[in-house]
Every structure is written in C-alpha cells, then in structure tokens.
Amino acid sequence: MSFSDDEIERYARHLVLAEIGGPGQQRLKAARVGLIGLGGVGAPAALYLAAAGAGTLRLIDDDTVALSNLQRQIVFETPDVGRPKVEAGARALTALNPHVVIEGAAERLDATNAARLIEGCDVVIDGTDDFATRFVVNAASVAAGIPLVSGALGRWSGQVGVFAGRPCYRCLVAETPPDAETCARVGVVGALAGVVGAMTALEAIKLITGAGEALTGRLLLYDGLAGTARTARVTADPACPVCG
Ligand SMILES: [Zn+2]
C-alpha cells in the first residue's frame, strides 16, 4: 500500500514518529474501526481517527442530530440538526479527510445485529451510554476476537478502558448499576467529551500501530473537576458469563 504526495504531507507528523512512521501509517490505512454511537465519545473519536488516516470508519448510530448534541459532539454543525448522525458525520469526516472510507450503518445495535455490524472491524470503540448496549457490544467483540475500546463520561469525569479477550467489559460491570446515570439527566461538560473521545481514538491508534502499551485490561479514570487521573487494573471475573 503506497501513499500519494498528498497523504505523505497530510500524515507528516505521524511519519516522523518512531512508534508510527511509514509502517504504522500503512497499518492505519489498512484498518477498519467500528464506532458504536456517534455521541459525546464517538464524535470526537471519529474526527481524530479520520484525521489520523484510519482507512475505514464504520459509523453505527440510528439517531438524528439534536441541537443539544452540538455542545460536545463537534463532528456536527448547526445545519445538521434533524439529519441522521451517520449521514452528517460521513459528510464532515469526508471533508476532513477524503482518503478515509466511511461506512454508515443507521441501525440501533442490539443482540440480533451486533455480530454483523462489527464484522470485519480491527477495533471497536463503544461510546454508547446505556449498559444494555454496552453488554451486547462486549459480548459480540469477545466472540469475534475484536479488541474493544470503551469510553464513558458524565458530569465532570470520564473513563477509558481496553478489553481484548479476558478480562472483558462484563468482568468490570457485572450488571446494570441501579444508580446508572445518563448525560441527559445529570449533564456533562462538553470539553470532557473531547478528552475521553480523543483518548479512545488514541487507544485505537495504539492498538492498530502496535505503539506503546494499550490500556488493555486497565481502566483510566479521569476527574476533570479535580484535574487528576489514575489507572486501575481490571480483574477477570471467574463467573463472567461472557469470557469466564
Ligand atoms: Zn468477562
């Protein structure tokens, strides 16, 4: 796979990095990343992955753009309100980087279609904010052997984890917590979505290029209000219904 002059100039800052360079950029171009949800996490992640030259992005979201999304879902613009997210996202991402192939799936991911929707992806990023969908994405990713980058946020804090086989996301979250919160109810600072979304894109880039140490089996917890972060190891659950 060779690069045009445009691509060489476009990716110049990657090409000089020892951990990416030409071979890493080729791996990025050959990769397909599945984005489950084009929301607070998925929208900035998609922008950075398109800019990075991830060859194919599969956008999976059945929603339309709402005015209240624009405070943090920066892939969308005001005229996009009311349009399908997959369609508006594809337009913006293609404008940012015409070398990237966008596959849109305006479907709500569930247990009946998850395997098909993530098939052929090298990495899946889950930025959805309901546990039922997260559990389905996790089970499908484990079954297909696809590494899962999980990003979540609410109010002023967020977390990012990478799961590849065992431990899986279900080892971390066994059941839907009774006090599960949604951003719609408790709020979220828009810039925090940028932090967490960019972190999930970074982890995907590391997984694809082999650079550094991915957050595999670990969870990075970021407290935006305090300005602190810590990393915790995820323990495999012997009774996990997915990977146990
Ligand atoms: Zn598990």
Q: Is 240 a catalytic residue?
A: no
| 149 CA distance to ligand 1 middle (Å) | 14
Give the chain's mean pLDDT: 97
Helix (H) / strand (E) element for 33: namely strand 32-36
| Residue 167 DSSP label | S
What average pLDDT score do residues 21-50 get? 98
Q: Where are the alpha helices (DSSP H) in 40-149?
A: 42-52, 85-96, 114-118, 131-144
CA distances in angstroms from 244 to 161, 164, 171, 193, listed in the order given? 19, 13, 9, 32
pLDDT digits (tens, 9 = 90+) for 206-225: 999 999 999 999 999 999 99
Asked if residue 1 has pLDDT above 80, the reply is no
- CA of 241 from ligand 1 middle (Å) equals 7
- Ligand 1 centre distance from Cα of residue 173 (Å): 9
pLDDT in tens, 139-161: 999 999 999 999 999 999 999 99
Predicted confidence (pLDDT) at residue 124 exceeds the cutoff of 80 = yes
Among residues 121, 171, 183, 240, which one is catalytic? Answer: 183
Cα gap 49→14, rounded to integer Å: 13
Q: What is the pLDDT of residue 178?
A: 83
Both tokens of 175, joined, read 């059941």
In sequence order, what are the beta bridge partners of 228? Answer: 223
Q: How far is the CA of 166 from the centre of ligand 1 (A)?
A: 6
Separation of 223 CA from ligand 1 center, angstroms? 26
Which are the contacts of 84, defined by CB distance < 8 A and separation ≥ 6?
A: 63, 64, 65, 106
